[in-house]
Structure 1
């Protein structure tokens, strides 16, 4: 099951977080758009449930 670990305000920030988690942490990452379409669209950053703690540590949230 995929779990949201971060809500990015735009695609650029979502891609930055994806890169951090995927390359630096070697985690599987999915991006899922939420809200209205366009440049201001927010994105959920998701990782597998088993990798949530590691993702949060990489993001400095734990």
Structure 2
């Protein structure tokens, strides 16, 4: 099961967070919240497998995202 570890506005920022987690070895999914909205205006969920959520949040805190 996938869980949300971060929500952010703008596709560029979502991809930046996703890249950080990927470089740290996490599997990620980035999903838009709304459909038919411009990518820079939309909000995105950054998700990881439930078993990796705690570690992913630690990485985000260490990098000042949380």
Give the structure-2-normalised TM-score: 0.85
Q: Matched residue pairs, number?
A: 60
The gaps in structure 1 that reach 5 residues or longer are none
The gaps in structure 2 that reach 5 residues or longer are none
> Alignment RMSD, CA only?
1.0
Aligned residue for 2:15, secondary structure, equals: helix
Aligned residue for 2:25, secondary structure, equals: coil
Extract structure 1 runs of 4+ deviating beyond 4 A: none
Give the structure-1-normalised TM-score: 0.90
Aligned residue for 1:26, secondary structure, equals: coil
For residue 21 of structure 1, what is the aligned residue in structure 2? 21
